[in-house]
Amino acid sequence: MARSQQADRELTEVLNQLWILDTNRLRPGTDYIISLQGKAGYVAQGSNYARDRARAPLFTYVNEDKLKSIETYLHFVNLLDNYETATGVQEEVTSEELKENRLFIDAMMETAVMKFAHGYLSNKGQSPSDCDQFKRQLYDIWFRLYHRDRSGGKDSCGFEHVFVGETKFGREILGLHNWVQFYLQEKHDHLDYKGYKARANKNTPDEDDHVLNLQFSWKGLVKPVGGVFIGVSPEFEFALFTIIFLMSTERRTSVEVKVDEYLLELIVYRNGQCIGTSYPKLLSSNQWD
């Protein structure tokens, strides 16, 4: 069923409300500095060679003290080393990791962003009004393990795919749509930023844009293009994509919205009752200035 314009308009309003409420979003030029450098080139299908149009890292500076001082970021970073990134390798979730997942969800539920999302979803009949039941729903959507590669045990979950990143058969990068993970992997020399991607006739992105399309290599593989929010809090992304996921029953949901100054396509794939992947695609920015 095609989504109505009215539904998209309502979603735009809801997402802009989340944007306003995201007080844990970091400020470009102050809390972090990025260097976009060159425009990334074409990468052939199946190839892992990309010309490097960016000699320096994407992130010139991130205020890590600020990250560590905000509960949701602190707990979020603790989750990033909990996964075996190769698909087909069964995930083993320890009791310590389960506890870390719960602490992260608890911290998110203290934020205005997630409280607003909960209220909206509960009013729409998509989520239980009880806070503990809603936390369980979030857990199932994002952390419940499922098969991405049918050959082995349960090897993936929405959180791992979107926020940590995965590799498939040692041939391609899946997911990795989160700026904090991007920054940390880059800092430890595991990831190499190759340049930004922009549509041919659209304006060039700039250093204070909160959404970018990027090209990078990671674990010896190349991601030709990946959409990433920059500087936003983990709870903002969780709230945003959970709402889109629950407000649709399609296997692939694509919503075009204007959030702040950005015209975005927000894409969510479902894997049963869980998130398969979710990411933003920047269509254009600053054009309403």
Indicate which residue of 118, 177, 194, 210 is catalytic: 177
Our answer to whether residue 177 is catalytic in this structure is: yes
Decide if 118 is catalytic: no
- Is 161 noted as a catalytic residue in this protein? yes
Catalytic residue among 75, 118, 135, 161: 161
Considering only CA atoms, which of 138, 139, 159, 137 is closest in space to residue 148? 159
Residues with a known catalytic role: 161, 177, 223
